Amino acid sequence: MEKITFLKRKAVEIRKSLIEMIYEAGTGHTGSSLSNTDILTALYYSVMKVDPRNPAWEERDRYIQSKGHAVESYWAVLADKGFFPKEELKTFSSFNSRLIGHPNNKVPGVEMNTGALGHGLSISVGMALAAKLDNKAYRVFTLMGDGELAEGSVWEAAMAASQYQLDNLIGIIDRNRLQITGNTCDVMNNEPLDKKWESFGWDVVEVNGHDFAELTEALNVTTANGKPTMVIANTIKGKGISLAENVAGWHHHVPSKEEYDLAMKELSEQLEVLS
């Protein structure tokens, strides 16, 4: 229970950090980053083997954020873990900053440049296959958005992962059901999502993407059954800020001063409850 409380507090701190980054920079993917914050918190504070002092550690677990536009939560987590100074978050999206609007490997802890949707799973398949060929024990995690699943390259990678029996590969879908143009099922219906992945030869686990007990259990996969794992994490776009939750317009929305103040007040209150 103490670990869960720690993760909950950490997630609220990350949300406060990303909202401040977006507000000060005047740009960012607010709703998307808020929805994946708990997933990243579970991965970096409870699941993955990483060493901020040695980002190139050969035995590290690999993480690819295919959902690259939701980078603000990613930057906040990497800074909090010590991959780079927290002060650098103030440079987000400013001239000559490393912290641009998508992940890039000039930043310690970032494996690959991402942002063009549909590529992350393919990259992760290659990394997971390399681990198998080199007899390495590290795992590869990749986070995708549900709107991203309309990209055909995702399903090519899904077939390859099954073909090569990559049971060291864990995919995660941030299933918030909203993309920039509306509901994912209206734009490109991908239901039944669990059956689709199962038919491509994957083990599928469906969880509440804001429940740390469910997330950490699902992500700590150590099977050797020859099947990659897909974690469908049901999330809420804009999670943690009432005026943003389940609102498609917050996909790429910069809070006004009033919205920023309300958001920070809510998040501060959440921290008080968890203290």
Look at residue 2 in the predicted model and tell me its pLDDT: 87
| Short-list 177, 170, 159, 157, CA closest to 204 | 170
Per residue in 100-119, pLDDT (tens digit) is 999 999 999 999 999 889 89
Total number of domains in the chain: 1
Look at residue 191 in the predicted model and tell me its pLDDT: 85
Sign of CA dihedral 76, 78, 79, 85: negative
Q: Categorize the per-residue pLDDT at 186 as very low, low, confident or very high, splitting at 50, 70 and 90.
A: low
CATH of the domain at 92: 3.40.50.970
The amino acid occupying position 31 is G
| Residue 181 belongs to domain spanning | 2-274
- Cα 22 from Cα 27, distance rounded (Å): 5
- Cα 36 from Cα 34, distance rounded (Å): 6
What is the pTM assigned to this prediction?
Answer: 0.96
Per residue in 139-180, pLDDT (tens digit) is 999 999 998 998 999 999 999 999 999 999 999 999 988 666
Q: What is the DSSP string of 89-139?
A: GGGTTSTT-S--SS--TTSTT--S---STT-HHHHHHHHHHHHHHTT----
CB atoms within 10 A of CB 201: 15
Q: What is the DSSP string of 37-48?
A: HHHHHHIIIII-
pLDDT reading at 224 higher than 80: no
- Cα 59 from Cα 138, distance rounded (Å): 6
